[in-house]
Structure 1
Amino acid sequence: MSTPQRTFARTTLDLGDVQLHPWGREPAGPERLDALVAAAADPTIALWNPLPTADPQTARAWLEAREDGWNRGTGAAFAALDTTHGTLLGTVNLRWTDRTDGQAMIGYWFLPEARGRGLATRTTRAVTTWGFRTADARRIELAHATGNDASCRVALRCGYLPEGTLRASHLFGDGRHHDEHLHARLTTDPEPSPRGG
């Protein structure tokens, strides 16, 4: 008897003031494409999470790739939207690294006006819980450059335990390979306290 394949199924996660909506071709109006172009130009995003969305055409191609991940059940890319105005705040992305073994990786970025409000922590927690409960993830990893202190704080607040340093492991937006801190959560780990840390 074969085991059902782990998959990410499209869903919307409502956090009250923020809605996590699946990225895809729809809705992909001019304002959403413009927001992705602006995100690519932000210095912090350009350094730690470079986006290939320098113009509306490449932004549309990026959205199509996110939709393809949903279609194949291999990636779960969520747009974090302000519930009141529908404006883009950032994104959280969960993808399989070993689908058969239930191993995934999570990442995120947020626009400057959305930072410092705890949104990265809240949305990352929500997507982590969703990945464990609905997609049968066994282990989710979070890696960030050692110089990215904000991401380290988010990881710890979300219950991702530090596991070590990956040397010169990822090419970042400055054209250099940086060391990364590796954090991970197991489905058997307890939920972090509401205040995190």
Structure 2
Amino acid sequence: MTTSDAATDRRPFRPEVLDVGTFLLRPWGRALDLPGGTVAAVTAAAVDAEIVRWNPLHDAIHPAGAEAFLDRADQRWADGSTACFAVTDRADGRLCGNVALRWTDRGEGVAMVGYWLLAAARGRGLATLATVAVTDWGVRTAGVRRIELYHAVGNESSCRVAARAGFPYEGTLRGSYRYGDGPYNDEHLHARLATDPAVALGR
């Protein structure tokens, strides 16, 4: 495959429900229906202490901000730039978290993955499962070549997720990103290539 052929193989992300056993990854947007209301689920997530610290949803603590969050998800699906999934429990449909895959350099086939989980869903391997599912999907359906995962050096749980999901550590970026805790944080960069060995996970 030539370089120009490879570039044309990078496709936009298109909405799809991903089945990961006891959980479903469902596209965020106005059409998403969650128990108790989707806007209420987003506002509840936005005030979770760990989400505020590492993945702040900013104005989504208010209903209007949560609605804007859903509108942005719809827009990103429409332009194919970001695949934003609500991680939901198959049994009752309740929100467990979020996972998103975003093109950072579509021409070069590079995307970035990120995630957050609600407190009740943590410690069960769900972030790892969702990360593997969405990155495998991106490789298969959109031609993603390299997937990058960034996390604050102090976010040790994300470091463990990266390792379990098959994202080797590649280096530390100094003063790289401002999270919800105020100052610029050093970050670890992990990455996975489409050609890396498959990750086997139990469901």
Name the TM-score, length of structure 1 as normaliser.
0.95
The residue aligned with 1:126 is: 133
The residue aligned with 1:95 is: 102
Instruction: Count the aligned residue pairs.
Output: 195
- Give per-residue Cα distances to partners, 1:124-151, cap 9 Å, x unaligned: 1100100111110000000000000000
Q: Report the AA paired with residue 184 of structure 1.
A: A
How far is 1:17 from its partner?
Answer: 1.1
The residue aligned with 1:7 is: 12
Is 1:185 aligned to residue 192 of structure 2?
Answer: yes
Q: Which moved more, 1:82-91 or 1:3-12?
A: 3-12
Q: Is the 8 A contact 1:6 1:100 kept in 2?
A: no
SS in 2 for 1:78: strand
SS in 1 for 2:86: strand
Q: Is the 8 A contact 1:28 1:60 kept in 2?
A: no
Match of 1:38 among 35, 40, 44: 44
Q: Is the 8 A contact 1:6 1:102 kept in 2?
A: no
| Structure 2, unpaired ranges of 5+ | none
C-alpha separation between the residues in 2 aligned to 1:21 and 1:159? 23
How far is 1:64 from its partner?
Answer: 0.6
How far is 1:192 from its partner?
Answer: 2.7
- Match runs of 1:30-179 below 5 Å: 31-52=37-58, 53-179=60-186
Q: Is the 8 A contact 2:10 2:109 kept in 1?
A: no
| Structure 1, unpaired ranges of 5+ | none
**Consecutive aligned runs of 4 or more in structure 1 exceeding 3 Å deviation:** none
The residue aligned with 2:23 is: 18
How far is 1:27 from its partner?
Answer: 2.2
Q: Is the 8 A contact 1:93 1:108 kept in 2?
A: yes
How far is 1:5 from its partner?
Answer: 4.8
How far is 1:193 from its partner?
Answer: 4.2
Q: RMSD of the alignment, in Å?
A: 1.5
C-alpha separation between the residues in 2 aligned to 1:93 and 1:7? 14
Q: Is the 8 A contact 2:9 2:143 kept in 1?
A: no
**Identical pairs, percent:** 52
C-alpha separation between the residues in 2 aligned to 1:31 and 1:65? 18
C-alpha separation between the residues in 1 aligned to 2:191 and 2:32? 32
